[in-house]
Amino acid sequence: MDGAKSLYEAYVKAQPEAPPFDDWAPDLHLLLTVLMVEIGHQKKSVGDVLDAAVAEFRVLLSINDPSHMRTATRLMLEHKHVFFSAEATTVLEGHDNEAKRAVLDKAQPYVKLTWHLCVLLCRELVTGEHALTPKDSLMLGLVDEVPGEDLIESRRAFVSGMEARLKPSAKARRLKAGRLRRLG
């Protein structure tokens, strides 16, 4: 990044109103990384490499959009029990806004990483041909259930099982009805 910084400093001399280099450094680092990956794919021409790198860079920037991070944070808060420890969940359900902010700030890098993983995985799955077994689809959460697969209990199976366990048996209903008749 030293070469890029030197070039930027020369530019700033001509354009003093330019923002500080440190504001640009993370995005420049990302662009250079994407460019190196695209060069590694050995495209046909420099133009092809640059086109592919800029397109990929734009996708990655869109993933980092603040509205996406708010959505990811909202989803994380809706499912606190999955993303946070019991102690952090207690803090998030409390009334101390400063403590809540501290928990969220600590979690933010993980939220961002998880969001990137989800978006890029989904993007990859809808690009090209990918053979997924029904079990793979179930494990990735792309489908709710696979007939004959009991590795993960589906929501439907869980709910019907709970209803069956909570529903009184015919014998219990007859005994209750008999008791009610005797009382009445």
Give me 42's structure tokens: 């050995």
* Sequence ranges of the domains in the chain: 1-63, 65-130
State pTM to two decimals: 0.54
Asked if 84 and 114 count as a contact pair (C-beta separation under 8 A), the reply is no
User: Model confidence over 37-94: pLDDT tens digits?
Assistant: 888 877 678 888 888 889 888 888 888 888 888 888 888 888 888 888 889 999 999 8
Asked if 144 and 153 count as a contact pair (C-beta separation under 8 A), the reply is no
What value does the mean pLDDT take over residues 175-182? 69
